[in-house]
């Protein structure tokens, strides 16, 4: 009788599951997952450059599927809302609070609209005010908040154009700003006439133009008209009283930047011809300098359509690029030019050259520095110190150099390293504001040797602090003459502390958390070593009390060290029956075994559960291995993808063996899953191994011949490495997949290469060969899912799949 009851129960469970699969409405996951999903989010924090103010930004609630399905235009790689002339899927905030860090007092802004939907929050130069956008249903408004009165109000009656790039920038004097508005009196756009339809023709001139597989591109002449209509802006100067005046003629503005002294505007405008092959950031553009009143001073460069940039991730356009202002001077322009025609395959001793030119911009450009690799960035200090960073993707090499803008012949290499090596990462350079309210290097001179030895100066960096025992963020002072290092602060167990403000003064501000305490912000008195709490964020997941989290380490077959974050259900203890397991991973490419084997993450970080996290299933009785290391290594002349399939198998086998040896996992009840490239990994593991009971693949690409000009970190084309492309395509091995596979994809996926057809055709191949598979297409969703109904349904699908094919296998 007992056997009959068990069999009947199993039959009913399976019947319920099958019946549920026929339901076409959105579903919700079981209550344990739902409770975690509905937990409040922790506010986003932003701190002023002088550490006086802290903004607490509460994220907008998840949109409903009805909101997500509203009208949307997809033009030149951008997705816009035609109703308010703004971005259609941007992250916005529903509230804004302010904390004065000297007292810890919290203030709420008065005057905000009841339907606050805020974005592009921008400090004024002296940080006494903030400007921001209010995304209304009829249009996007420009607002201003004063941090003395804590009052906010709408600044201009005109509607903004927020379709591309930054919408506003402050004048360095803080008394006005320039912003992009919808052109005055813009006439309505006429619908296309069917009588005007004609063949769509594209033609190549015989020049190679390899490009990735982009989404949402222009397709027709009418798309070009729509692009002109919605992306054209009128630049206006708006003062603090809300008074405005037009600057220049309407244009499609790519970028805009005031000179530090506020006398000039560096402006880049997009021009024709547009492209049906590449998105807006590759369209032609003209860079010019204008006086602040709109008078043209000089046209700097007409950048052509960037359809034929040399192949490889180190390829760049020919001609001047990366125009900007020296932050330490009133009006000195800088830019970069490639000496190798932008072609990484061309032999060259010097790859790039950095030039400068001072106002009035009529003298011959001055060479500032040679770059033996690709220019990456420059952080300005003054005439005697600036830090230049170069990179070369092919080898993952990085060099930081100490240069003197006043002496082109002076150069000292500070760091030569491989940037995938986390242990050697010195971190980001710490800056301060100068007399122009622009960020320049924070420096400390040796007071004794200052006159006789002006190069004896220290600079500061803040690093994530990767180490064998896990990430331990630190602040470091580095002497650019002696290269001696002094650690000023370093996070210590049992906390993970990340410095978020430091100016070499009497205090700093840290974010502090532990494995069981939510991140909060503290002001630290550096003399007394005392902590003052600034925020009091509460644990949003009390229902996870008792869940055990630990950082585990193990080795794969060839000796590479791996790690991951393991979550065990509350009450589980050594000796208990092994658990069903969900492993969630994302492959990453490395050029060295040493870098691949480094410890990632920290055992002391609090686990914030994202809306698409795998950690939910610890509440359903699963062991969850999140962020399981999945390195793919190609040393020297070898490329990581040459042995992609073999290496992900080594990684998976190592994780499974370690979990089984720990007594945690039931080897027959382990699922593998991932999103995007993690989905690609999942499908490959099911195609080439029999290690798993089930797989979950979200928004992946499965046929690499559909991304023939490169993907992820693969810069070879299909025609250069056809065997690699075919071997890495699980579509080619669909006939070998016997493990149940759940495929989920957003129907409006706009990520390069992961169009929905990838999942649709892969599912058809699986079905044609008799595999157990399920395809779920989420309406209106992009690469990352947003609507509440979509996310809940996704969790329900995953839970149903895991319950049937893993836990109750």
Residue range 721-743, pLDDT digits in tens: 999 999 999 999 999 999 999 99
pLDDT score recorded for residue 523: 96
Is 683 exposed, middle or buried, given 0-12, 13-18 or 19+ CB atoms closer than 10 A?
Answer: buried
> Cβ distance 436 to 423 under 8 Å?
no
Distance CA(522)–CA(507), nearest Å, equals: 10
**Count of CB atoms situated within 10 Å of the CB of 21:** 12
Distance CA(510)–CA(489), nearest Å, equals: 11
- pLDDT tens, residue by residue, 474-510: 999 999 989 999 999 999 999 999 999 999 999 999 9
Mean pLDDT across 317-328:
97
pLDDT score recorded for residue 96: 95
Distance CA(510)–CA(101), nearest Å, equals: 12
Confidence band, pLDDT 50/70/90 cuts, at residue 686: very high
Distance CA(29)–CA(624), nearest Å, equals: 17
Residue 13 has pLDDT above 50, yes or no: no
- pLDDT tens, residue by residue, 269-290: 999 999 999 999 999 999 999 9
Q: Which pair of tokens denotes residue 298?
A: 């000089």
- pLDDT tens, residue by residue, 255-272: 999 999 999 999 999 999
Q: How far is CA 171 from its chain centroid?
A: 28
pLDDT score recorded for residue 210: 72
The mean of the pLDDT values for the chain is 93
Confidence band, pLDDT 50/70/90 cuts, at residue 190: confident
pLDDT score recorded for residue 456: 86
Distance CA(585)–CA(563), nearest Å, equals: 11
pLDDT score recorded for residue 3: 42
Q: List the catalytic residues.
A: 676, 749, 783
Confidence band, pLDDT 50/70/90 cuts, at residue 202: confident
- pLDDT tens, residue by residue, 73-100: 999 999 999 999 999 988 999 999 999 9
C-alpha neighbours within 13 Å on the C-beta side of residue 139: 15
Confidence band, pLDDT 50/70/90 cuts, at residue 452: low
pTM: 0.93
> Cβ distance 146 to 129 under 8 Å?
yes
Higher pLDDT, 298 or 213: 298
pLDDT score recorded for residue 17: 46
Distance CA(799)–CA(589), nearest Å, equals: 30
pLDDT score recorded for residue 359: 96
Between the two ends of the chain, the Cα-to-Cα distance in Å is 22
Q: What angle do CA 581, 582, 583 make, to 5 degrees?
A: 115
Phi/psi of residue 201, each to 5°?
-125, 135
Please give the share of the chain, as a percent, with pLDDT higher than 90. Answer: 88
Rounded to whole angstroms, what are the CA distances from 36 to 33, 626, 804? 5, 17, 22
Mean pLDDT across 218-228:
95
- pLDDT tens, residue by residue, 525-554: 998 889 999 999 999 999 999 999 999 999
pLDDT score recorded for residue 193: 67
pLDDT score recorded for residue 332: 98
Confidence band, pLDDT 50/70/90 cuts, at residue 20: very low
The maximal CA–CA distance of the chain, rounded, in angstroms, is 97
pLDDT score recorded for residue 225: 95
**Count of CB atoms situated within 10 Å of the CB of 102:** 12
pLDDT score recorded for residue 213: 86
Confidence band, pLDDT 50/70/90 cuts, at residue 191: confident
pLDDT score recorded for residue 261: 97
Higher pLDDT, 266 or 2: 266
Mean pLDDT across 571-583:
95
CA torsion sign for 185, 186, 188, 192 is: positive
pLDDT score recorded for residue 248: 95
Q: Which pair of tokens denotes residue 709?
A: 């000009």
pLDDT score recorded for residue 311: 87
**Nearest to 169, CA basis, from 181, 158, 177, 161:** 177
Confidence band, pLDDT 50/70/90 cuts, at residue 192: confident
């Amino acid at each position: 009788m007992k056997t009959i009851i068990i069999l009947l129960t199993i039959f009913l469970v399976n019947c319920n599951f099958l019946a549920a699969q026929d339901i076409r409405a959105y579903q919700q996951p079981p209550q344990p997952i739902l409770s975690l999903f509905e937990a409040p989010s922790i506010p986003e924090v932003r701190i002023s450059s002088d550490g006086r103010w802290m903004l607490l930004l509460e994220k907008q609630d998840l949109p409903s599927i009805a909101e997500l399905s509203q009208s949307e235009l997809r033009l030149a790689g951008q997705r816009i809302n035609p109703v308010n002339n703004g971005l259609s899927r941007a992250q916005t905030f529903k509230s804004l609070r302010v904390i004065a860090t000297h007292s810890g007092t919290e203030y709420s802004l008065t005057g905000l609209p009841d339907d606050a939907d805020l974005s592009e929050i921008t400090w004024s130069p002296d940080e006494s005010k903030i400007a921001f956008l209010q995304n209304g249903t009829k249009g996007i408004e420009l607002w201003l908040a004063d941090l003395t009165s804590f009052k906010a109000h709408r600044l201009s009656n005109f509607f903004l154009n927020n379709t591309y790039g930054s919408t506003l920038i402050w004048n360095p004097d803080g008394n006005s700003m320039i912003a992009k508005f919808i052109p005055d009196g813009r006439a309505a756009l006429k619908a296309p006439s069917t009588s005007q339809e004609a063949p769509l023709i594209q033609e190549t001139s015989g020049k190679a133009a390899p490009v990735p597989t982009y989404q949402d591109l222009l397709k027709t002449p009418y798309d070009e008209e729509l692009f002109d209509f919605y992306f054209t802006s009128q630049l206006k100067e708006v003062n603090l009283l809300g008074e405005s005046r037009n600057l220049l003629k309407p244009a499609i503005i790519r970028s805009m930047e005031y000179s530090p002294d506020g006398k000039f505007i560096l402006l880049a405008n997009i021009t024709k011809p547009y492209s049906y092959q590449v998105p807006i950031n590759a369209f032609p553009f003209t860079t010019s300098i204008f006086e602040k009143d709109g008078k043209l001073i000089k046209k700097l460069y007409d950048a052509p359509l960037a359809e034929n940039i040399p192949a490889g991730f180190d390829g760049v356009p020919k001609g001047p690029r990366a125009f900007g202002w020296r932050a330490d001077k009133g009006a000195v322009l800088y830019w970069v030019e490639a000496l190798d025609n932008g072609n990484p395959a061309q032999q060259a001793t010097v790859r790039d050259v950095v030039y400068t030119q001072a106002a009035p911009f009529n003298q011959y450009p001055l060479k500032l520095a040679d770059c033996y690799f690709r220019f990456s960035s420059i952080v300005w200090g003054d005439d005697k110190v600036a830090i230049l960073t170069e990179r070369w993707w092919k080898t993952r090499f990085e060099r930081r150099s100490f240069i003197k803008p006043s002496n082109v012949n002076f150069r000292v290499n500070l760091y030569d390293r491989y940037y995938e090596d986390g242990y050697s990462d010195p971190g980001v350079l710490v800056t301060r504001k100068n007399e122009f309210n622009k960020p320049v290097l924070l420096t400390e001179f040796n007071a004794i040797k200052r006159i006789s030895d002006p190069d004896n100066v220290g600079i500061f960096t803040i690093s994530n602090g990767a180490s064998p025992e896990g990430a331990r963020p630190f602040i470091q002072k580095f002497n650019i003459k002696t290269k001696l290092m002094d650690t000023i602060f370093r996070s210590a167990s049992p906390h993970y502390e990340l410095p978020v403000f430091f100016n070499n003064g009497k205090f700093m501000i840290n974010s502090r958390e532990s494995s069981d305490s939510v991140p909060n912000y503290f002001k630290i008195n550096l003399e007394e070593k005392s902590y003052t709490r600034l925020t009091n964020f509460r644990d949003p997941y009390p229902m996870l009390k008792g869940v055990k989290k630990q950082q585990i380490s193990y080795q794969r077959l060839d000796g590479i060290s791996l790690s991951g974050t393991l979550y065990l259900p509350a009450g589980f203890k050594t000796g208990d029956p092994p658990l069903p397991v969900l492993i969630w991973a994302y492959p990453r490419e490395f050029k060295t075994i040493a870098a691949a084997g480094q410890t990632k993450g920290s055992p002391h970080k609090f686990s914030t559960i994202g809306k698409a996290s795998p950690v939910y299933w610890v509440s359903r009785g699963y062991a969850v291995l999140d962020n399981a290391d999945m390195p793919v290594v190609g040393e020297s002349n070898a490329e990581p993808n040459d042995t992609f399939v073999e290496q992900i198998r080594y990684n998976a086998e190592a994780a499974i063996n370690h979990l089984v040896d720990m007594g945690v996992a039931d080897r027959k009840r382990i699922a593998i899953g991932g999103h995007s490239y993690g989905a690609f990994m999942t499908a490959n593991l099911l195609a080439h191994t029999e290690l798993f009971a089930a797989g979950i693949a979200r928004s992946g690409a499965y046929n690499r011949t559909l991304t023939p000009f490169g993907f992820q970190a693969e810069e070879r084309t299909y025609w250069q490495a056809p065997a690699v492309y075919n071997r890495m395509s699980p579509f080619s091995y669909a006939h070998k997949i016997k493990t149940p596979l759940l495929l989920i994809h957003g129907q409006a996926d706009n990520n390069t290469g992961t169009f929905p057809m990838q999942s649709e055709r892969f599912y058809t191949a699986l079905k044609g060969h008799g595999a157990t598979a399920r395809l779920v297409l989420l309406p209106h969703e992009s690469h990352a899912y947003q609507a509440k109904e979509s996310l809940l349904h996704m969790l329900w699908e995953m839970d149903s799949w895991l319950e049937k094919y893993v836990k109750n296998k």
